[in-house]
Amino acid sequence: MSIVAYTCALEEIQAPPAPAETGQSHRLHSQIADACGGLRRLADIQLGIWLTRLKMAALRIVLCATFCLLSAVLAFLALVFLYAALYRILTDLLLVPTPWALLIFAGVHFLLAGILVAAVVIIIKSRDDQGAMAGGKA
């Protein structure tokens, strides 16, 4: 039950009819009842629209999350095959011994991790600087 319908129902319960109603009073009462009914219908329709939009947004979020997870799994699988091919190229075509090939992989990953950490530190420091300038601190 919507708030408008509840309010209109309370008004009808709390306001007992006068013993001798005139035609004008009855007409005013029916107009108020029609207005309350219209407001209740409008509120119900608006609530239905909001719920429909909420369901559509939730569906979009679930679909987006599902597709992101699926793409992450496929990217991981592609990365595994890429590493296998690169390892094969290093060991078979370039005749790099296996321990050295693995050390090359480890070194490249260590370098990439260092670059990512440096980028995060720069981003955090720039946000701290922006926050200090917005707060009036220098």
Tens digits of residue pLDDT in 40-67: 999 999 999 999 999 999 999 999 999 9
Global pTM exceeds 0.95: no
Tens digits of residue pLDDT in 3-37: 655 555 555 565 555 555 567 888 888 889 888 99
Structure tokens at 74: 């496929």
Best-predicted range by mean pLDDT (118-122, 123-127, 129-133): 118-122
At 17 the pLDDT is 55
